[in-house]
Structure 1
Amino acid sequence: MKLPRPYSLQSRFLVGLLAASVIIGGLLFAGFSYHVRRVLENEVRDKAAMVLAQVDSVQRYERRILRPRMYEALPDTFIIEAMSSSYISRIVMNDMADESHTNLLYRRVAIGARNPRYEADALERGLIETFRKDPALHLWQGYKTIGGVRHFVMARPVVYQQSCLRCHGEIGDAPPELIALYGDRGFHHAENSIGGVDFVGLPVDASVARVQNAIWTYLLLFALGALLYFAATNVIFKRIVANNIRLLTTSFRRNFSDDKGAALVREVEQGDEIGEMLAGIDKLSDYLYETRQQIQGYATNLEAMVEERTRELADQAHARAEDVRMFVQLLAGANRSGSRPELWQATLPLIAERFDLERAAYVCTFFSNRHYAWPESAEAGDLPPDWIDLLTGSTARIEGDRAFIPVESTQGTAEGLLCLYRKPGRDFEEQDRAVLQAIGRQLGLAADNIMALESIVRHSANLRAIFEGITEPLLLTDTSGSPVVANEAARRLSMDLSGGVTGDGNVIGLLCEAGAGHKDCDIAKSIRLNEVISREVSLANGRSFALSIYPVYPAGPSQSGQAVVYVHETTQQKRLLAHMTHSEKMATVGKLASGLAHEINNPLGVILCYAELLKKAVPEGQLGEDVEVILKHTRQAQHVLKDLLSFARPKASTDQAVDLARAVRSIADVFRVQAERQGAAISVESDGDVPPVAADSQAIEHIMTNLIINALDALPEPGGRVRISVSHDAAAREAVVRVADDGPGIADEDRQYIFDPFYTTKEVNKGSGLGLSIVFGLMGELGGSVTAENGKDGGAVFTLRFPAAPGGAS
């Protein structure tokens, strides 16, 4: 069914009919509901009164007939089942509720009840207090919610009469059976006092639901009948009245298609009375006359109107072009700005030029309350009284020659107001509102970008300071180990490892390829497994480094993984640890050697003494040769004991300043005769600026003697050369002695043990294994160091580093 138009005669007729039906139906509904509820309430009240009447009947029978008769028959006996009215009424009413299945609730309760089961709850205590406050009130009735169910409640007070005091008065008057059953509860009540209530409750939720269902059924039938009545009335009205009016208006609508004509047709269509329709037709005739006059005016002024419209369009096109040029300049100014003051200094003149402003200002309202003005001498903008509403509304406001534009951030929150003031006599136009709104948003976005850029630059500077401030090499690498970023320590290390060739911080290739056997020290593996990996790298020159690789999770799927590599040189730590380990060994062996030397030296002296006496006493021959063998090996044993004592006793002193080059040459001259016998040669080279060293000549003699003897023993027979050089390491303030030979060199498996006591690679009876241990110990006592390696052309090279004497090195 097509619905009628608003305000038509048919619509108003149906609306009035609907209003009358609703009013009548509402009154009938209210009256019917009230009547049914009153009937329900009266019915429930009668039921509750009937229950209380039945309770009264039972109690009167017990008090007037049964109890007196029981006292006559059994004057000294109390039977609660026959002599207690409360007990009997509870039993009878509970039995009746169970048999009738009515959910009847009956309670006879008291405050301080003899039986705790019938102690008054909070609701019942309230009723008892009500009766006590108003003794004239003999009955209370109303609705209460009990156990989540709405009940109609009727209650009356329980008043203690004279006949009740035998059991509820003083405890001395009560039957012994009662005291034995309940103890001392429920006594000390006075006559005519209110101690409890008779309480009857009937649930009403089910009855109310039935009543409501009946009411809603009636209302539904009434609404259905009204709907059918409305439909029939609408059809009849439409055929008799509405169709005839529609025929008339259709003709008008066909002939008047412009806005004003359509409005007049709608006005006629809305009229529903004859007078109003005539008025509408009169207006249509006036409209026809005005239309004729306009047509004649258009014919006369058409050329002028076209020219005026063309000029307006040209002005609008020029304004839009100026807007585009202004926005381009605003973007350029924002890109050149490095801070917010620079942004406003660059953009305010551009806005002022576009709108021919007298002055312009930006006021930061939410943060610093600072303002920026053009010209710079101008005052801050005068904020409107409701500037907070203007900011939260995010809408530009135009007030004649003034405009206030919220400057919004990217999050949509306004940070300040842009206040623009045109020259006197010139106002902002309404079409400028959209452009001004766009300017506010564009400047807010530019201000946010500048703030973000400042934050990025500040954080980048802080990170760079932290990164460069770390004294250990630290670098960020890609999966191949090439450095992305390296700190100053990493660049210095790359310069050191490459011999000054490169300082780009690419220490991974220099360390890993030479010492670890992997080009990237498992950086790619660390990134692939996303776990921290530590590597130890040892170079051929004796330096060692510890590398810790920390993978960096890529920021996006298109980015490859990276790793942070921390490099720590452990050369000094390893040397110190080796020196401490060797010192501990030497200390232990020294104690043992000292004890053994003293224990063995005395028997050897006796053997040597008696062997010499025996040599003088025996004739030459086989026996004399045997005695000579005893003397030879005894002296050899004493020499070993002497080395043991030299090893065990600290003897080096640093109190003297010794010319190291002269001492070395002197000792080399001593061994040249022995070298010539072997067909070998000893050469000594010395720089001219070698400073004195803090040592004593005896310690230097002992050290050089052991090294030269070892070098001569290692030379091939015949031939070979022992090369000794003395130089000055000015950077370390040390004098350096190198002893090199042409022998087979030091095997890799022997290198870590050569300074241990009693370790020797010579044949049996050709060395005690204590010479290098003594050298190591003496160098340690002098504050220097000794290292051993193989030369590039073969042979062993021992390097001694002596600290320069105080004041002896320049």
Structure 2
Amino acid sequence: MRSGAPIPDFGEAQLRAVLDAIPARVALIDRGGRCRYANRELAEFVGLTPETALGRTVTEMLGEAAGVLLAGQGGRALDGETVRWAGWLPFHNRAERRYVQRILLPHRGADGTVDGYFIFSRDLTELVESERRLLETGAQLRGSEALSSAIVASALDAVVVMDEAGLVMEWNPAAERTFGYARHSAIGRPVAELIVPPMMRRRHVDGMRRYMETGIGTVIGHRVEVEATRADGSIFPCELAITEARLPGRRLFTAHLRDLTEQRAAAAEIEGQRTRLHHVEKLSAMGSLLAGVAHELNNPLAILLAQATLLRDQATTPELRRRAERIHAAAERSGRIVKSFLAIARQEAPRRTLVRLAAVVDAAVELTAYGARSAGIAVDVTHDPDLPPVQGDGDLLGQVVANLLVNAQQALQDRPEPRRISVWTRRAGEGAVVVVADNGGGVPADLKSRIFEPYFTTKPAGAGTGIGLAICRSIVGAHGGRVELEDVPDGGARFLVWLPCEAAVEPAEAATPDRADESLAVLVVDDEPDVAESLAEILEIQGHRVTVRESGQAALAAARRTRFDIVFADLRMPGMDGIALRRTLMAEQPQVGARTVLVTGDTVLGASTARARRDGALVLEKPFTPSDVRTALEQALMKRDPPAS
């Protein structure tokens, strides 16, 4: 837990609602002894708000006595122990002492180490005082049944009074509500028969007999958590405290019981939120790792794709050309898959352009093809040739389709053959629809209304996170569309993604500059010699004169000696990187600086690419084809010289 950090942001609204609903004072204390979270009940007790309580020490909030006591208990909690304590405490903002029951639970971070502890504290002053007054009044009035009954009846917790034989003497209204027995039917019956689960009754009877004979007991005088049973046979957790009252000629035992069902459910919800948060953090780390691996593949893929293209174009025999084409196709497919991964993980704002759904669907099918093929699943794709484009982010829409395809594959894994996924696009009124259907078992009717809820999943533990369909709905909704699950008469599931179509006319192609086919002086800068040489070969085959340098400093020195028309510079290099080189050229040779193309495979993890685009630089992403290089070159030639300062 970072110093100064509040409770994690993920799911904060739900988590706060749960903690505020607990009838207890809740705080999260870090290793420095400072409050990192306080629920509303605790904040109001100490005269603060949940926000102003943050960062304060226990001593500052509760006073010196409470701070000294909690220091020792907190140390045990930081060692991983669950600490339970009950007793009287003075508070600096209260005129009287309060009787407090406290539980300290260690809080573990994502790495499993204890970085703080939760405090769950309940003020039992009124209950203890009620007990005390009951005993005092009973001793003074010696059996004033009316007064005793009035006090017991007012208690919020279940109060059961029994004699030495374990027979019920008093059964208050809270006990009636908790256990389901009316008072008249409970009086005179053995308490074990009413509230003790059958499997624990022998132990209860033996414990009472041992206490009556020896005075040694493990429950009387302590607060413990046990299981109890109701009239309908259901078993539930409860907190039990038994006190003994010695009267002339006999002894009475008063049991105070509190139903912990809601408290346990709240604690389980908190733990579930923490587990989901840790899971999302792991997914995020895995996504970053995957993006990093994809980025590292870009340089060798750029070399492979460029060399395969050159080998194909320069092949001297049909057989050699066929082999080169197979290498080129495999390299191109690898490049598309890597770019798809990077597009999904790209941490940028959505980029809205005219998107052709057929291309989006085909890319998603190719990305998930291995999983389908290895599982023996046939994938059929059909496109409406007259489908107009949609306005949106192609990467995000591709993520939606890929997610639906992966879900369909998982639904078919344990199904008998034939296993089929059908994908098609079609026009629907003023919009377009992408349909992903499978012949699996379908979605049960009682779950259809919940499948788009975050973290709801029908998959077994470890097989899904429950956030995929929620993300799909969010992405499609941001595009002005919707995602629906449609009933399939012959079984299976069918998801429909509805999107609005664009009526806008696509812009006409810009005229190619006159110099695009002329021989240009090009400077290539890359600290990876193989990448630089591959790019240089592509440019030379296209008829240009190429100079190669392996660092930004060497490239700047060459640019000061020789006039270049275009510069291709790797974005990330040791020393002077591509952005610094471009800025220096913009200052010294504005025309060359404006026509500097930054080459990168860093489209996800670094901020350099986004910064370069904000500066107006052209970016060529690895792996690139000769066509990509020609397009980048033509775009660079269209750059106008910046105005003279």
Whether TM exceeds 0.5 here: the answer is no
Which of these two proteins has the greater Rg computed from alpha carbons?
A: 1
TM-score, normalised with respect to structure 2 = 0.25
Structure (1/2) with the larger strand percentage: 2
State the TM-score, normalizing by the size of structure 1: 0.20
Larger helix percent: 1
